[in-house]
Amino acid sequence: GPPVYVDLAYLPGSWSARTVDEEFFRRVRSLCYVVSGDDHLKEGVLRALLDALLAGKHQWGTDTQVTLIPTFDSLVMHEWYQETHDRQQELGITVLGSNSTVAMQDETFPACKVEF
């Protein structure tokens, strides 16, 4: 069927992350993808998921900018970012890193602001 266009999509974690492949990114076209779930299962499939984003986005045939928002720090993410940075720029993919923190109810946590 035709692709679905959304503003924000959360990519599944744990075992469900294995279902996110190139075809997923061809069909679910989002302005922002959130990669959440800092767990060992996701770490094992993270590189394949990120490579699938590049391959799927290549098929869009438009100049749509995409923002990738990881919610955890990962060596796999860092390596992918460094190794594919030129390709990300060609495809209009921006990876957000956040050094900002939010304090709420005696707790602080990293955060980033996304506007549409």
Report the chain's terminal Cα–Cα distance, integer Å: 27
Contact predicate 34/10, CB 8 Å? yes
For 79-109, what is each residue's pLDDT tens digit? 999 999 999 999 999 998 766 677 888 888 7
Task: Give pLDDT, residue 66.
Answer: 95
Q: What is the pTM of this model?
A: 0.83
Element (H or E) spanning 30, and its range?
A: strand 28-35
Largest CA distance in the chain: 48
Q: Which residue is associated with the tokens 């720090």?
A: 73
Compute the distance between CA of residue 75 and CA of residue 65 in angstroms, rounded to an integer: 25
Three-class SS state of 61: coil
